[in-house]
Structure 1
Amino acid sequence: MNTPLKITKIGNSAGVILPKELLAHLHASAGDSLSVVLTPRGIELSAAEPDFDAQMAAARDVMARRKRALRELAK
């Protein structure tokens, strides 16, 4: 799929309208959240994982508790 998208002004921000075919490919719909990742070729859009925030909170907790061990492993 190589569909040109137009950037439109939305208040003080800018947005892109995604065609329904692209939303279907992402398994997303209006109101859903998307994850954006920077890659060497540009950006990658994917459907956001619902438990990502909980996983990151758990990882930060472990890193805070095991700070010394992680510092030693980084040597």
Structure 2
Amino acid sequence: MTSLKLTRIGNSVGVVLPKDVLARLRLGEGDAVYLTESPDGYRLTPYDAEFERQMEAARRVMKRRRAALRELAK
């Protein structure tokens, strides 16, 4: 477990992530992270559950309409 310290940043309060945590999350300056509530507390992740749901719906449509999409691509 990594302990993080809250820091004042202007009129806000922020968390500075150590370099090794950024590397494990594959994050860099300007990337988005998501704080999600889970049964065991909160989780900080680069994974956007809403985006994944949308992509899964798109994959189903693309699979079902493969022939039409190929024709449109010509």
TM-score by length of 1: 0.58
Which is greater in Rg? 2
Q: CA deviation at 1:48?
A: 4.0
What's the RMSD between the two structures over aligned residues?
2.7
**What code does the residue aligned with 2:32 have?**
S
Greater helix proportion: 2
Partner of 2:43: 44
The CA deviation at 1:5 is 1.1
| 1:15-40 Cα deviation digits (max 9, x unpaired) | 01001111111111111000110123
What's the % identity of the aligned pairs?
46
Q: Which structure 2 residue ranges, 5 or more long, are not aligned?
A: 58-74
Q: Which residue of 2 aligns with 1:23?
A: 22
For 1:41 and 1:3, locate their aligned partners in 2 and report how far apart those are by CA, in whole Å.
16
Equivalent residues, number: 55
Q: CA deviation at 1:9?
A: 0.9
Segments of structure 1 that go 5 or more residues without pairing to the other structure are 59-75
Task: Give the 4+ runs in structure 1 shifted more than 2 A.
Answer: none
CA distance in 1, matches of 2:43, 2:31: 16
